[in-house]
Amino acid sequence: MAEKQEEPSNTQNGEPENAEEGEEKKKKKLKREDLPPFEIVTGERLPAIFFKFQFRNVEYSSGRNKTFLCYVLETQGKESVTSRGYLEDEHAAAHAEMAFFNTILPKCESSLRYNITWYVSSSPCVTCADRITETLKKNKNLRLTIMVGRLFMWEEPEMQAALKKMKSAGCKLRIMKPQDFEYVWQNFVEQEEGEEAKAFVPWEDIQENFQYYEEKLAEIL
């Protein structure tokens, strides 16, 4: 997320040109300070335009500074229950992976088994990877598979170490194949009301980029 630029000011001696302008700036400052540290957007289906931009498995992810996480949560007990949806972090301070454990699955019941599959626009950061590792170590009844479109900062040694820890804790980390993108398109992306569902149209370099990231992940793990 780009840093906020200082608002241009026509002030002299630290005073605004008029009281109304000064009051307006105070309101803007107050609004910014009143914002929560982050906001998590949840839902069942994400807009197609977000999917096409955020999930694209490009090598250089310029401008893609959000995390989109689609999930399938299977809870197995006396009766099996499956839920699905998506999370999107609204501000840079938020991480959708953290939000999943805080809001979608805040507590793991020891009498239940959980099979979770995430389809994420990019792999987790170091902090989120560590949280995933800790959660899996504490909850042996939880199985997590993460399908990612891109690898995030994979050249960094700290990031590579965090991904290895996730694997050792039992997390299955995979690169999304073209078929996985199609699955997300069919199951998690909004379709226009009143229209037939549009077929998934793979982008030109989808297969080559999948192979590129799959090789990089294999080298790391």
Q: Which of 20, 23, 88, 97 is catalytic?
A: 97
Residue 84's Cβ-count burial label (10 Å; 0-12, 13-18, 19+) is middle
CA distance 133 to 137: 6
Strand locations in 90-156 (E):
113-122, 142-150
Q: Is 97 a catalytic residue?
A: yes
* CB proximity list for 40: less than 8 A, separation 6 or greater: 87, 88, 89, 90, 94, 96, 99, 103
* CB proximity list for 119: less than 8 A, separation 6 or greater: 69, 70, 71, 147, 176, 180, 183, 184, 188
Catalytic sites, residue numbers: 97
